[in-house]
Structure 1
Amino acid sequence: MNSVTAIPAAPAAEAEAHFSKRLSLETDCADVSAAMALPDPGFVLLDVRGPKAYARGHVPGAINLPHAAITEETLKGHPAGTLFVVYCAGPHCNGADRGALRLARLGLPVKLMLGGVTGWIDEGFDLETAAVAQA
């Protein structure tokens, strides 16, 4: 016996429910990359970090909307039922969770891109840069 086998695996139906639930809430960088290469990925990708972090490097095609700025007003240009995928800096950051929570509280479908910018880079994908708007 070892630490892997000391606790038996869950029954298959329980495992199916668990992993199905996780996949309904999360996606990964490779799946986002593949979808963003399509004419219509089926979601809006939100970088929920601040404008300076976004300008230094973001996932191509992502819109910058810091999590604190997610409101009905800032999202009014998107049709009802739009799926949003959110990301932040990476596993050390909870900005994507905060953004996802705000979207869910607005009654909108949302998934979190696991790994954020760190995961994107780890997968070998390139970031793009943008100029920072001056107020």
Structure 2
Amino acid sequence: MSIVATLATHTSDVLATPAAPAALATAHFAAKLAFETDCSDVFSALSTGADDFILLDVRSEAAFLQQHAKGAKNLPHRQISAERMALFPTGKTFVVYCAGPHCNGADQAAYKIAKLGYPVKLMIGGITGWADEGLPFAQGENMVAPAAAEQAKQKETQISCSC
């Protein structure tokens, strides 16, 4: 049995704009992977004890205390500063996430962190992607847990990421 290639007689909407040549596609996707990672890879790395990155939840403290990716630390993107970043161990890459694809809080955080001179990647999907993957959540456990912990316990509605 042989497979015979046939020439398309009609260009589909998929290829109305032709695919990039392989060399350009390789460069594009390599660059994209330098900026992003996904929930599954983060979880897998944390599960095997990886310590070369810090998973940073950049949503509000109240949202973090209610539920966050297991292993994450919290620093709301609006509070990112040289002083706050200096509290973390040196020599680590930061992996940031926010609410999900409908939110740009992680992009804002990644920009601020990179501007301060730290290596950073975005965890695509955010907390929404983490949930979609069925990965474990944690509650509480903030680096600093002031009154927001009590506020989170009292609220039964969804807490905003505050982006």
Q: TM-score range by the shorter chain?
A: over 0.9
RMSD: 1.4
CA distance in 1, matches of 2:53, 2:90: 12
1:97 to 107, 118, 122: 107
2:126 to 116, 120, 128: 116
> Normalization by structure 2: what TM-score?
0.78
Structure 1: unaligned runs, 5 residues or longer: none
> Normalization by structure 1: what TM-score?
0.94
CA distance in 2, matches of 1:116, 1:133: 24
Q: Once the two structures are superposed, what CA deviation does each residue of 1:25-53 show, in whole Å capped at 9, x if it has no partner? A: 00000000001112233100100000110
Asked whether 1:40 is paired with 2:64, we answer no
CA distance in 1, matches of 2:42, 2:50: 12
Q: Once the two structures are superposed, what CA deviation does each residue of 1:40-69 show, in whole Å capped at 9, x if it has no partner? A: 331001000001100111001100100011
**SS at structure 2 position matched to 1:7:** coil
Q: Once the two structures are superposed, what CA deviation does each residue of 1:81-120 show, in whole Å capped at 9, x if it has no partner? A: 4200000010111110010000010011000000000000
Taking every aligned residue pair, what percent have the same amino acid on both sides?
52
Higher-Rg member (1/2): 2
**SS at structure 1 position matched to 2:137:** coil
CA distance in 2, matches of 1:58, 1:42: 20
2:83 to 73, 76, 95: 73
> What is the identity, as a one-letter code, of the residue corresponding to 1:58?
H
**SS at structure 2 position matched to 1:23:** helix
> What is the identity, as a one-letter code, of the residue corresponding to 2:133?
E
Corresponding residue of 2:14: 4
